[in-house]
Amino acid sequence: MTTQRHHARPSRTRTGLAALAMCLALNLACKGESGGKEGDGGSHSDSDKSAGGGSPLSMMGPFAKMFASGLSEPGPYDAPRKSADYAEGAPHWLVVELDKPIAELESLSLFGGTTSQPLRELQAKLRKAANNEHVEGIALRANGLAINLALATELRASLKEFRAAGKRLECHTENVANAGYYVFTACDSIVLSPLGSVAITGAAATPIHIKGLLDRVGVTADFLHVGDYKGAAEPITRTEPSPEMMETLGALLDQSYATQVAAMVDGRGMDDAAAKAAIDQALFVGDAAVEAKLVDSIATWEDFVAAKGKPWTSEGSKNPLDDMTTLQRFIGLMPPEVPTEPHVALVYAVGNVIDGKGNGVVGAREEIASRTLVATLRALADNDSVKAVVLRVSSPGGSALASELIWHAVEEVKKSKPVVVSMGGVAASGGYYISAGATKIFAEPDTITGSIGVVGGKFVLGDALASVGVTNFELKRGERALIWSSMKPWTESERAAVQSMMEATYDTFVSRVSAGRGLSTEAVHKVAQGRVWTGTAAKAHGLVDELGGLDAALAEAQALAKVEASAGIEVYPAEPTLRDLLSSYGAVHAGSTWGSRVDLAVAEVGVMAGPQVAAQVASLVDTTFSMRDTRIWAMTWVQPL
């Protein structure tokens, strides 16, 4: 087991910290509870002075405490957060609510909230509860749990670990489906709300193609690929998946289906045939779910909790605003808390791989910017207290150039310490590129990985511009001076030149995998060609070493580095400071950015097919736009199931 010295703040807390820190930074008045003169922060208690001396920080103490108190107590019409008979230090049940999508990291902004719950924070709560002698069990509440199957596998393992400590895990839901139900199969019992539903519809993939949309607005995607299975350009160059893509998706669905069936057999005590029959029936409401042995009983949440017959409380009763040290770190008056003894560093690489700095530390929660991550890895390479690095990769890839630069940074770290990769829901193409050189690679059975191949091209906008009255005239010196012009497709000569550049990039990619995995280039080429593999298949082909989650990767890194499991873990990206948030504030994040005609087309999709499909189309359009200046892509569009 490991301890993690990295504490996340709830989103409202972070917003409050930002507001307080802005007040300090701009030298505005922060009145205390006693209502002192404007600008002096009111009168100060001894505790205020001891916390911050005579500095402006001490003036904020009363306001900070008042704000914290307001956040920690429910409103007059909110549901209670603990039972009337709950007493700290006495035996009780812990209520854990999974009310946000489970993700690698929480994204944030200066004035916005968070929209997800980091998996590792949730796992830490479960371990803490397992080690708390006063916690008799967990009442887990989740409705419509949003999680991909690879992360669900890690969460399910943590829930089973909690049960292995000899404590009860009882779960309640109003509606649950597929990956969420897969998680619930780890529970001692499952209780469904009256008229609640269980939907185990099986594995499915619905690839979205936007070539027709681009055709409507006069945009042509002129793209080439290296690798028979490299389908990253298919959504923008084809109206339907290729046979190779259909084969790839079929293999992913086979793995996902097998995972779901195995969990139902293991967790619900049904045989293989019964599990498959339930999946085929798909939809169960109320008592029908009980009869199918998918849940154990029917009850409202209130009755479910009352039936425990024990005091209970919700997790997370302490608010970080009570600790002025947290505020000082946020403002930058104190350095981040990192272990001083020999330890392992955990580095998250989440999102598309992009060139340049991106949005720095704040952006590192949702993008892999080459200059930002390279600087981080090289700093860790030079830090003698860091004895090993775990790189948590959750990325479909992106820029081949950025991936190559990050690969070099990983090699630099390996000169002095081991690097262990832990793959999340997807670590493919560029995501695999940056992983390939690691000392050891871990993946979950349902991780999407591989996709060793490249695509390259440009978007031709000549017809689109002409349709709105924009014309273009060419003057050049040099046969290929306009090779990257967005006004017309490539000539055959230009196409041959681009193809040659892409093949050289592919050969480099294959050589990196060959060196990192100890395979011949011929062996890599056989499993490359842009083909996407599940974690299980990747292990069979030598592309990963072990099947397991982040905990297994951290344990391996500690063993390789001979670091005690009790040592703290340094985490990147750390909790952002005010400086980090302000440096990212005002960055442009423009919708589709293709123009109003594309925006209107996406809106039309929403009217016809609903917001979920429209969101998928918009995401595809946005990602396509963000990558349009990248010459060669090492990317996959295949998403975690």
Q: How far apart are CA 43 and CA 33, in angstroms?
A: 9
Residues 154 and 444 sit within 8 Å (Cβ to Cβ)? yes
* Phi, psi torsion values for 145, nearest 5 degrees: -55, 125
Task: Find the Cα–Cα–Cα–Cα dihedral 508, 510, 514, 519, rounded to 10°.
Answer: -150
* β-strands 297-298, 189-199 pairing: parallel
Nearest Cα to Cα of residue 422 among 372, 464, 456, 388: 388
Which residues are CB-neighbours of 627 under 8 A, at least 6 positions away? 352, 398, 399, 633, 635
Please indicate whether residue 230 is annotated as part of the active site.
yes
Q: How far apart are CA 400 and CA 237, in angstroms?
A: 20
Tokens 């990196």, residue located: 512
Residues 557 and 420 sit within 8 Å (Cβ to Cβ)? yes
Spell out the alpha helix ranges (H) of 301-398: 301-306, 324-331, 360-363, 370-382
Burial class of 208 by CB neighbour count within 10 A (0 to 12, 13 to 18, 19+): middle
385: number of Cβ within 10 Å: 14
Marked catalytic residue, from 256, 370, 429, 514? 429
Q: How far apart are CA 583 and CA 360, in angstroms?
A: 8
How long, in residues, is the chain?
Answer: 641
Q: How far apart are CA 479 and CA 485, in angstroms?
A: 13
* β-strands 440-443, 454-460 pairing: unpaired
Residues 637 and 396 sit within 8 Å (Cβ to Cβ)? yes
Q: For residue 336, say if its preceding peptide bond is cis, omega within 30 degrees of 0.
A: no
Q: How far apart are CA 537 and CA 416, in angstroms?
A: 31
Q: How far apart are CA 427 and CA 449, in angstroms?
A: 5
**Local structure of residue 384 (DSSP, 8 states):** T
Q: How far apart are CA 386 and CA 384, in angstroms?
A: 5
Residue 550 is which amino acid?
L
How many angstroms from the chain centroid is the CA of residue 187?
Answer: 24
Residues 295 and 190 sit within 8 Å (Cβ to Cβ)? yes
Q: How far apart are CA 436 and CA 509, in angstroms?
A: 9
Handedness of CA 109, 110, 111, 114 (dihedral sign): positive
* β-strands 220-226, 454-460 pairing: antiparallel
Marked catalytic residue, from 230, 387, 417, 458? 230
Q: How far apart are CA 585 and CA 601, in angstroms?
A: 30
Q: How far apart are CA 37 and CA 410, in angstroms?
A: 55
Spell out the alpha helix ranges (H) of 396-479: 400-414, 430-433, 462-466
Residue 17 is which amino acid?
L
Which residues are CB-neighbours of 115 under 8 A, at least 6 positions away? 100, 101, 106, 107
Please indicate whether residue 429 is annotated as part of the active site.
yes
> Could you list the active site residues?
230, 429
